[in-house]
A and B are shown apart, each in its own frame.
Chain A
Amino acid sequence: AQSVTQLGSHVSVSEGALVLLRCNYSSSVPPYLFWYVQYPNQGLQLLLKYTSAATLVKGINGFEAEFKKSETSFHLTKPSAHMSDAAEYFCVDNQGGKLIFGQGTELSVKP
């Protein structure tokens, strides 16, 4: 069965530092991958999605992710963290119309 693994349940960075949230997938067919963000006490919001058109995907709020088939990875990055980026981030794979979620990574941003 397909699965999504997020390395690190909690990542802490300083404001202005690089954000790197790691995600690996195990799909045996070309995956359709997403990153969703959940701000405290809110629903999820799409950050970006990969659908095989381009390996580097740009999303909202300065985030981007690179699809690397050889590494089965889809890591999320942002060059400079803001306090407002503190949230839970989910890497997601589409399995035949069903979204399969990673376990989530909580990002903390220190002033």
Chain B
Amino acid sequence: DTAVSQTPKYLVTQMGNDKSIKCEQNLGHDTMYWYKQDSKKFLKIMFSYNNKELIINETVPNRFSPKSPDKAHLNLHINSLELGDSAVYFCASSQGGNGLDEQFFGPGTRLTVL
């Protein structure tokens, strides 16, 4: 039973398109996150939500909009995709939101913008 799942696993699209990535966790955690991993494997947090409320919003272009319909789901919508958005996006969850608890990561979504 997958703890943190993401769909799709691969996403190939043209510049200018709008796309969404979905994330679900079945761990009962209160906090969920989105991370971006670039081609050099550098990881950076983008957003975090605690009980459906946004608590971390890094300097991410406003083309990226997270949505949390309930505490088990955190989706990422990206408008007007650009070449630089190509990366692997990871969803994660943890019980608490103070960063001290283990974060459980999904398998990642590899986004390629052509």
Q: Which residues of A contact B (CB under 8 A)?
A: 32, 38, 41-46, 49, 51, 88, 90, 94-99, 101, 103-104, 106
B4:A43 contact, CB within 8 angstroms: yes
A41 to B41, CA, bound (A): 11
Q: Apart from A41-B108, A43-B4, A95-B99, what 13 extra A-B contacts exist at CB < 8 Å? A: A32-B99, A32-B100, A44-B43, A44-B90, A45-B105, A46-B103, A49-B100, A49-B102, A97-B56, A99-B45, A101-B43, A101-B44, A104-B41
Residue of A nearest to B100 (CB): A32
Contacts of B105 in A (CB 8 A): 43-45
Residues B53-84 near A (CB distance < 8 A): 55-56, 58
B99:A43 contact, CB within 8 angstroms: no
Q: Least Cβ distance of B18 to chain A in Å?
A: 25
A108 to B26, CA, bound (A): 33
A101:B42 contact, CB within 8 angstroms: yes
Instruction: Determine which of B42, B44, B55, B102 lies in contact with A104 in the assembled complex, contact meaning CB atoms within 8 Å.
Output: B42
A99:B99 contact, CB within 8 angstroms: yes
Contacts of B43 in A (CB 8 A): 44, 90, 101, 104
Residue of A nearest to B98 (CB): A97
Interface residue count on the B side (C-beta < 8 Å): 23
Q: Least Cβ distance of B112 to chain A in Å?
A: 15
B100:A94 contact, CB within 8 angstroms: yes
| Contact A103 B40, CB 8 Å, known A43-B4, A43-B90, A98-B45 | yes
Residues B11-27 near A (CB distance < 8 A): none
Q: Least Cβ distance of B22 to chain A in Å?
A: 15
Contacts of B102 in A (CB 8 A): 46, 49
Residue of B nearest to A45 (CB): B105
- Over the window 74-114 of chain B, the binary record of Cβ atoms lying under 8 Å from chain A Cβ atoms (1 yes, 0 no) is 00000000000000001010000111101101111000000
